[in-house]
Amino acid sequence: MAEAKGLVLETDIVAQEFNLEEILGVDLSKDEALAAEIGNDIVDYITKRSAAGRGIGGSKLRSPYSKEYLNSEEAKIYGKKPAPINMRLSGDMISSMDVIDFDGTTLVVGIEGEEAAKAHGHMTGKNGTVPNMKREFFGLTSSELKKITDNYSDRISALESPSPTIGDLLSEKDNASINDFFNNIGDIFKLKELK
Amino acid sequence: MAEFEFKVKFNQQDIKSLNQEILTAFKKVIASNAVLRDIGEVLVLDIVDTTKNEKSIPNKLANLKLLKEAWINRKDRLSKYNKTSPDYEHGKSNLTFTGQLLNSLTYIVEGPGKLKLMFKGNHSAYIGANGKKIGKDISNDKLAGYVAESGRPFMGIRPAMRLRINRIVKSYVIRVLAVARLTK
């Protein structure tokens, strides 16, 4: 199974985090426009890939659509057919995919807001409760991302390498442990509205 | 009144099974003023930007309720006598006319692990054609409450900002551990 690193699958956000500084080895904080262009290309790539019935790494999305789905009121309204698989009913979910954050290092592309629940359902088969629904349409493998960033190789090589940080002193093992810690700790932060 | 409490919750795993060295660093980080200030900055900027883009965070980033025609026209008239925000635009529902409300949003660190988002100061009444104030000044805090009650809630934390907060905390944890390695 092709792997999309940095995927976030929650009911209010389906996204992928790309640490561009780590992946490209350059400091993009002074060229946010480039990060945005890469982000937009990622959106276009996934849009086209899903229209062709393909998911992460180009793997074929489950086909055909289930009878239950085709019999749903919404599917009837939009005249949905068993095939082709294109992850589109109204088109709202796919068109809500966007660049949703860039902090100078990490680019986040995905779906947040109302359409995220739908995308989460497709990505996880409603957390495994509806396996027929599972179609991993969102996310890029490292090689898919490389195809996109290769188009910007001149602009990328013109950028400076990031300055070493104190964190660079940590070993690979330490970094792996920190990643494990944050992966296992789950939804750690709750910012609760009091009033 | 908008107040947020920063809380840490361990959802998926027993604390004992976590890497204790990282857990200690993590606890130190989340109690730190510097981290809470970073989070406060991020949240304030994001709420302001998202609102200026006419989106409601609490309403799952749906568009803020459209302005009524009469209100749009009134704002246009008033724009001749008041200094408008650069983000004010005819008909745009982005809670920005003079910009006083969104500009007043700020944060304070109230203690370890506690961050409060609040509106400071007063919102000056608009100036009318006669050069005098129309109505009374009102606190920005009260105004924010009225705006939300009238169907344009805007205070909240966008899902993507949750991810960013995670990354901020992680970067601090990395620093704490790296310093510990250096001073060993």
Q: Tens digit of pLDDT for each residue in A119-177? A: 999 999 999 898 888 999 999 999 999 999 999 999 999 998 888 888 888 999 999 99
Q: How far apart are CA A188 and CA A59, in angstroms?
A: 33
Nearest to A182 among B9, B166, B181 (CB): B166
Contact B12, A180 (CB under 8 A): no
The residue ranking higher by pLDDT, A106 or A165, is: A106
The whole-angstrom distance between B49's CA and the closest CA on chain A is 12
Q: What is the mean pLDDT of residues B76-83?
A: 96
On whether the CB atoms of residues A111 and A13 are closer than 8 A, the answer is yes
Q: What percent of chain A has pLDDT over 90?
A: 64
The per-residue pLDDT for A94 is: 96
Q: What is the mean pLDDT of residues A43-60?
A: 95
Task: Report the alpha-carbon distance of residue B157 to residue A154 in Å, rounded.
Answer: 37
- Assess contact for A13 and B166: CB atoms under 8 A: no
Would the pLDDT of B101 be above 60? yes
Model confidence band, residue B8 (pLDDT cutoffs 50, 70, 90):
low
**pTM: predicted TM-score of the whole model, two decimal places:** 0.89
Least confident range of A33-42, A75-84, A159-168, B10-19? B10-19
Q: Which amino acid is at B22?
A: I
Taking each continuous run of H as one helix and of E as one strand, the counts in chain A are 9, 5
- Most B CBs within 10 A among A181, A183, A187, A195, hence the mutation to make, goes to A181
Return the minimum-mean-pLDDT range out of A102-111, B35-44, B107-116.
B107-116
How large is the average pLDDT for residues B149-155?
Answer: 92
CA distance, residue B11 to nearest chain A CA (Å) = 6
Mean pLDDT calculated for residue range A73-92: 84
Q: Which residue of B has its CA nearest to A101?
A: B160
| Average pLDDT over chain A, rounded to an integer | 90
